[in-house]
């Protein structure tokens, strides 16, 4: 399990074409990708299961906890991303609810685009 940031502070100011915004790059894939939006309610859970392909979860709102294998749960919040390898056992829970974009593809390499989350999770 790897952790990344895509919050405003990890992005790049864009001014081309008289623009004024921050773009936080996330991923580029040359293969097929499945992209969905997951809505986990308060006290909701994505049950313990194996990833069927590499999977990147981008937390947009809310917060929760994730775990991989038999590891302890780790807190995650909006602006952070979690990456699981193909076949990796994992689970997500949230006491307050969270909304996340989930990208699944064999061609994911988030470390090429996103800033790793600092240690001290």
Three-class SS of the chain: CEEEECCHHHCEEECHHHCCEEECCCCCCCCCCEEEEEEECCCEEEEEEECCCCEEEEEEEEEEEEEECCCCCEEEECCEEEEECCCCEEEEEECCCEEEEEEECCCCCHHHCCEECCCCC
pLDDT by residue for the chain (121 residues), tens only, comes to 888 888 888 888 888 888 888 888 888 888 899 898 899 999 999 999 999 999 999 999 999 999 998 889 999 999 999 999 999 999 999 999 999 999 999 988 888 888 888 754 4
Predicted structure pTM score:
0.83
């Amino acid at each position: 399990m790897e952790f990344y940031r895509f919050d405003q502070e990890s992005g790049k100011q864009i001014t081309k074409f008289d623009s004024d915004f921050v773009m936080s790059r996330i991923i580029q894939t040359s293969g097929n990708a499945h992209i969905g939006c997951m809505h986990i309610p308060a006290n909701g859970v994505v049950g313990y299961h194996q990833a069927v392909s590499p999977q990147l979860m981008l937390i947009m709102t809310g917060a929760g906890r994730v775990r991989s294998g038999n590891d302890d749960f780790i807190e995650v919040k909006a602006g952070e991303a979690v990456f699981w390898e193909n076949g990796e056992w994992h689970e997500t829970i949230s006491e307050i609810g969270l909304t996340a974009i989930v990208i699944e593809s064999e061609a994911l390499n988030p470390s090429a685009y996103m800033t790793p989350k600092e240690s001290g999770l």
